[in-house]
Structure 1
Amino acid sequence: MRLVLPLSLAAFVLLVPAAHAQSGAKKTQLVFAVSEGTSGGIDAETARAKYQPLADVLGRAINAEIKVAFVREFSALEKGMKDDQYDLVIARPSDYPARGLRDYRYNFVATAKPDGQCILIVHKDSPIKKVADLKGKTFIFPEKKAYMTRFCRAELRDQGILIDNEAVSYVREQGAIPFSIENRISDVGGIASYSGAYAQWIKGEHRVLHQSKAQPYMPLVASPRVTTEQVGKMQQALNELAGSAAGGQILKRVGITGFVTTEEGRLRKLLEWLGV
């Protein structure tokens, strides 16, 4: 004898598998590590508010849920990459994402625009006119192991000035460097082009002696778990950001003008130039 179900019950039986399959299709969850270094001065809550819109753009591109994780200490950032705790990493000290490529099998996604530079500043009345005049002068830089200090050292090395042969002071905060120059405590200071110290310096009647060669700024790299296809989709999304008002606001929030997804080679050469 053939069993005939009522129409409503038959429809329910047919719909259950489809509904079950749909509810089980959860988005992949990824961790997006963010670091801004000593010149950033932000906390975890500020970092999430600043970078989550960007994370959401990347998440939509690859159908994933991406959550921002603020990493304050550089040692924790590097350990996290080494232990493969982060799916994505963006960092303003560019040497850490560069280490991710070189040492921890991370893959290149993008760098930000504009590039980063070491800015050498002097007092407005200083007799120093060119980089060659810096031999025998007093220097002030961020902490000895800081990225921008290594950046400035490499630039000065290329210009014929060996910092190991000069009198150098180091400070924890870049904001102390302009104070030292204005008060003639040091002859020349090195600060980052993307730092608040530089932004304040160029607002006044101050002198910039030299701007270094440009190097990749705030790179974004992806864990080996992130597929080549996913990297490509994220790169496309990043390239499209500057083309819309909403995307422009996301870039402005992060403090950049756009992303470059075609210059992996420059980032891979960074550590060699720095000598680390």
Structure 2
Amino acid sequence: MASAAQAAEPEYTLAVSEGTSGGLDHARATAKYAGLAEALGRALKGKVTVVFAREFALLEDGLKAKRFDLALARPSDYPARAMRDNGYRFVASAKPEGQCLIVTRKDSPLKSLEDAKGKRWVLPEQVSYMSRFCHAELRDRGIALKNEKLQYVREQGAVQFYLEHKLADVGGVASYSGVARSLDKGGLRVLHSSVTQPYSPMVAGPRLTAEQLQAVQAELRAMDQADAGRGVLKTLGIQGFDTGTGPRVLSLLEWLGT
């Protein structure tokens, strides 16, 4: 009887993506998100299987086809587009939120963004989320990068390289990047911190009922209240989940200009 009941247990998929800088393979992603999948399974009274979307094309295709019951992804614009274009609903976003950090060398004479006008800029590749994030922040601060001496590089680690080797004067990186976590070691400092925006949103596909979505949100909100949940959050590298940022996830796309 037990095996029959187990066989009838509903199954759901959780797609996860950490972008090009995540550095995970499928086995490590499955292990990293196992605790979260288990918690989601409790809320859904079923089994949740982790689907690692290493390539953005896999993530986007799956969201467009509504193949994923849940998706937790960075960059944040992918879940946001799934909400706007593909009928997905907001579940939660991770805490703390994300920022573009404008950084320079510790020995740089630059004191403010105004000082950075006319200097040599370096950003991650132009199509990347963080590049667009930094562009939008600087636009709002009166700096149009199209008028600056700007170099795009493949990844955020290369931004650090350009600054360390004095190939650029100022650059932009994500607050949650490895570069940001090792600024002091790299001889860098923050010149300016952007506004915050929702980080790593989770969205739900059409298969989940409104009641199931609410159950998932309740499970996520409670995670930081117990040792087991805090252990899951620590493994994920976040402090908790915020279920109130849905409107801001949608407005993110307009702010980015996409």
Whether TM-score is above 0.5 comes out as yes
Instruction: Tell me the amino acid that sits aligned with residue 228 of structure 2.
Output: A
Residue in 2 aligned with 1:136?
Answer: 118
Q: Is the 8 A contact 1:110 1:221 kept in 2?
A: yes
User: For residue 247 of structure 2, what is the amino acid of its counterpart?
Assistant: G
Q: 1:40 aligns with which of 10, 14, 22?
A: 22
Q: CA deviation at 1:206?
A: 2.7
2:166 is aligned, of 171, 176, 184, to: 184
- Following superposition of structure 1 onto structure 2, how do residues 104-253 of structure 1 map, counting pairs within 5 Å? 104-203=86-185, 205-253=187-235
Structure 2 distance, partners of 1:251, 1:237, is 12
Match of 1:28 among 10, 18, 24: 10
Hey, what does 1:258 align to over in structure 2? 240
Give the alignment's Cα RMSD to 1 decimal: 1.6
Q: Output the amino acid matched with 1:247.
A: G
d(CA) in 2 for partners of 1:21 and 1:200? 50
1:54 aligns with 2:36: yes
Amino acid at match of 2:198: P
- Report the alpha carbon displacement of residue 76 of structure 1 after superposing the two structures with TM: 1.7
Read off the aligned partner of 2:75 and give its amino acid letter.
P
Counterpart residue number, 1:93: 75
Conserved? CA contact 1:29–1:65, under 8 Å: yes
Q: Give the Cα–Cα distance (whole angstroms) in 2 for the partners of residues 138 and 245 of structure 1.
A: 47
- The aligned residue for residue 270 of structure 1 is 252
Count of aligned pairs:
258
CA contact (8 A) 2:160 2:186 kept: no
Structure 1 residue 23, shift from structure 2 partner: 3.6
1:66 aligns with 2:48: yes
Output the amino acid matched with 1:192: A
Answer with 184-193 or 194-203: which moved more.
Answer: 194-203
Scaled by the length of structure 1, the TM-score of the pair is 0.90
Q: Is contact 2:164-2:186 (8 Å) kept?
A: no
User: Does 163-172 or 145-154 show the bigger shift?
Assistant: 163-172
Q: 1:20 to 1:206 in 2, by over 3 A?
A: closer
* Larger Rg computed on CA atoms: 1
**Deviating more after overlay: 168-177 vs 196-205:** 196-205
> Which ranges in structure 1 are unaligned for 5 or more consecutive residues?
1-18
Cα distance in 2 for partners of 1:50, 1:155 equals 32
Give the structure-2-normalised TM-score.
0.96
What is the CA-CA distance between 1:92 and the residue it aligns to?
A: 1.6
Q: How much has 1:25 moved relative to structure 2? A: 6.8
Q: What's the CA shift for 1:139?
A: 1.0
- What amino acid maps onto 1:60 in structure 2? R
The alpha-carbon deviation at position 205 of structure 1 amounts to: 4.8
SS in 2 for 1:154: helix
Query: Letter of the aligned partner of 2:9 in structure 1?
Result: K
- Residue 262 of structure 1 aligns to a residue in which SS? coil
The amino acid of 1:141's aligned partner reads: L
Structure 2, unaligned stretches of length 5 or more?
Answer: none
Q: Is the 8 A contact 1:134 1:161 kept in 2?
A: no
